[in-house]
Amino acid sequence: MKTCLRIVSLTIAGWALAQAQPFPKAPAEQIKADFTDIHRKLLEMAKDFPAGKYGYRLKPEMRSFGEVLVHVTSGIVYAAKAGRGEQVKWSELDPKDYPTKAAIVALMEKSIADANATLTKIQAATFAKTVEPWVAVLEHSAEHYGLLVAYYRANGLVPPESRPRGGK
């Protein structure tokens, strides 16, 4: 009897725990959410970082803060085109074409909106066949997000995502 009660108790506890846990997102939903989130964070950094520091480099041979953002945007443009089925190779955008913070922010806003619009139109079943180029570009953007955090810290700044939120 005790064993039976223990099994019933464990079953009920397991069921209750399962009810409390949200169901995992489908691959298409997860990719879309993660792609949107990392680019939201990067765009927030682009808007937040002081314009006068866009030329800052961690080391002389490295890209400046602004150049990193243009490089990341090259990936976003690539994802949008490849996601629409265009035969495209990665082509690096030239940072010289985007010499100011305002130009880089505008480029990013347009590119992110274009990629998100493309991503929204893709059927969930497509992600069962391939998650590319989305996951590769998502990973690329996340790696550079981490790098840009170092640019913030080297300038004595706190990245937007690390700042306390209202009321806390």
User: What's the domain range around 94?
Assistant: 30-156
Write the CATH number for 107: 1.20.120.450
pLDDT at 55: 98
Residue 133 inside a domain? The answer is: yes
Residue 81 inside a domain? The answer is: yes
Give the whole-angstrom CA distance, residue 124 versus residue 149: 33
Six token digits for residue 106: 């505008």
pLDDT at 22: 65
> Looking at the 3D structure of the chain, how many domains does it have?
1
Question: Residue 134 in contact with residue 79, Cβ under 8 Å?
Answer: yes
Give the whole-angstrom CA distance, residue 106 versus residue 141: 17
Residue 61 inside a domain? The answer is: yes
pLDDT at 28: 85
Tens of pLDDT along the chain (168 residues) come to: 554 444 434 444 444 445 555 666 788 889 999 999 999 999 999 999 999 999 999 999 999 999 999 999 999 999 999 999 999 988 899 999 999 999 999 999 999 999 999 999 988 888 888 889 999 999 999 999 999 999 999 999 999 999 998 644
Distances in Å between the Cα of 107 and the Cα atoms of 32, 74, 96, 138 are: 20, 10, 13, 18
Q: At what angle do helices 65-83 and 101-121 cross, to 10 degrees?
A: 20
Residues in the chain: 168
Residue 167 inside a domain? The answer is: no
Give the whole-angstrom CA distance, residue 70 versus residue 110: 12
